[in-house]
Structure 1
Amino acid sequence: MSTPTTFEELGAALGVRRVTLVTEEVIAEAGATLETPVHKAAAIAVVKNPWIVDGVSTGTDADLNDATQEIAPVIAKLLADRLVETLGGAGNIEAFGKAALVGTDGELEHAGALIHTPYFGNLLREMLEGTSIICFTDGRTEPGTDVHVPMWHKTHAANRDHYQTIDVSLADAPHADEICVIAAASTGPRPFPRIGDRTTDIPVTTDILKGRI
C-alpha cells in the first residue's frame, strides 16, 4: 500500500471500514416552534479492533497503549472534521459527547481505549473548541443496536440546558472484531429548557422527604 496522503487514507490503513454521519434539525417541540432551530450531528467510525487477532482477543493483561496512540488520534480527526463541516464551524457548536461500542469478540476496555484517553478526548475537545470533560456512553453490542449518545455544554458541563442526546442506529456494525467510535455535537440546548441550573438551584437534601408519609 502506498504511503497515505490524507487522514481518510491513513484511517483506512489503520482499519477504518467506514465513516458515516447522522444529522438532525430540531424545529419544534410540543407544538411550539423554536426561535432558532438546533442542529445535531453524530459522526461514526467503524474500525477493526486492533486487539483481536485471528478472532481471538489478545487478553485482559495486554497493553493497549501503543495501538491507542496510533489509532485514536486519527479517528478523533476524522470525526471532528465531519462535525465541524456539517455544523458550520467549531464556533457554532455548543454541546458535545462521545461513545464507543465494541463487538462481541472484544473487551469493554477496548472500546474505552479509543475514547477515554487524551489521544481521543483531548483532540476532539481541541478541534471542537471545548474545555469540558466530554460525556459518554460505551458498551458491547452486536450489529443493529440503537445508541443514545449523550451531550452537554462544551465549556460549562453543569449547564443543564444543554443536557441532550442524539439517536444513532448501528445497522451493520460493529462486527464481532470491530469497534464503533462516535463523536456527537449540537448547535444549541434542548428545546425550551426551563428546569434551572446548578448556579440557580437552592440547597436540596434528603430533609425534603421528611413528613411526606
Structure 2
Amino acid sequence: MTARIRKIGVWVEEVHVEGGRPVMPPTRKAVAAAVIQNPFAGQFAEDLEPLMAMGEELGALLGARARDALGVRPHQIESYGKAALVGENGELEHAAALLHPRMGAPLRKAVEKGAALVPSSKKRGGMGQDLDIPLGHKDAAFVRSHFDGVEIRFNDAPRPDEIVVAIAVTDSGRPHPRVGGLEAKDAKGVDGLR
C-alpha cells in the first residue's frame, strides 16, 4: 500500500422504520473510509500519479471493507458511491486524482459488475467536517429508488495535510420508494443507464 493510512473507519446504518412504517427487510448502507496523508499538501504538482495509484489501492481495500461490513456477496450490493474530503493544505484536484482515474475498477470488482458511473463528491474542510457520499444503483443509473446518500465524519480528520477517502455501498434502495421510474428488479445493467 502506497497510501500512508492513519486510520480506517467502517460504519453500517440500518433503517428499520421510516415515515412511521416498518421497513422489511431493513435498508442497509455501509461506509469504509480511510484517513491518509496528502503527499502534495502545501505544494502545487503537475503530476498527481501517486494519488491516482493510491486511489486504485483504496478502491480495492475500502470497497471490500464496505461490502464485508454488510456481510453480503458481491452481487448482492445494489448501489455505491465515493467521496473525498481534503484538508486545508490540499486541493480539490487531489481528491479528483484519488477518486476518478483508477478507483472505479477495483471497486467494481469488489461489488461485481458496476456498469453505471460511481457517483462522487469532493470537498475541502477541517477536522470534524461532515462528508456526504452520494449513492446510485451500481448497474443502472436510472433506478430512482437508489438515488440516495450517506454522511460520515471523523472528529479528528482531516488534518491540514490529510485526506479522508470514503466508499459507500448498499444492499437496497431507499425505504418505501414512491417516486416512480425504473425499478431495480427491471434493470438490465448493460449500458449503465437502464
TM-score (norm 2): 0.88
* 4+ aligned runs moved over 3 Å, structure 1: none
Which residue number corresponds to residue 189 of structure 2? none
Secondary structure at the aligned position of 1:145 is classed as: coil
Which residue number corresponds to residue 63 of structure 2? 80
* 8 A contact 2:52–2:97 mirrored in 1: no
- The 5-angstrom pairing of residues 1-213 of structure 1 reads 10=1, 14-52=3-41, 56-57=42-43, 59=44, 61-65=45-49, 67-87=50-70, 88-117=72-101, 119-129=102-112, 130-197=114-181
Could you tell me how far apart the structure 2 residues matched to 1:121 and 1:103 are? 23
Secondary structure at the aligned position of 1:170 is classed as: coil
Residue deviations 1:149-201 (CA, integer Å, cap 9, x gap): 110100011110111111212211111001111000111011111111169xx
Letter of the 1:182 counterpart: A
User: What's the Cα RMSD here?
Assistant: 1.5
Counting matched residue pairs gives: 181
**Structure 1 residue 72 displacement after superposition:** 1.5
- State the structure with more CA Rg: 1
TM-score (norm 1): 0.80
Could you tell me how far apart the structure 2 residues matched to 1:112 and 1:175 are? 18
Could you tell me how far apart the structure 2 residues matched to 1:32 and 1:183 are? 29
Residue deviations 1:119-140 (CA, integer Å, cap 9, x gap): 2112112221211100011111
Could you tell me how far apart the structure 2 residues matched to 1:15 and 1:147 are? 20
Secondary structure at the aligned position of 1:39 is classed as: strand
Which runs of no fewer than 5 residues in structure 1 stay unpaired? 1-9, 200-213
- Provide the identity percentage: 36
Which runs of no fewer than 5 residues in structure 2 stay unpaired? 184-194
Letter of the 1:63 counterpart: D
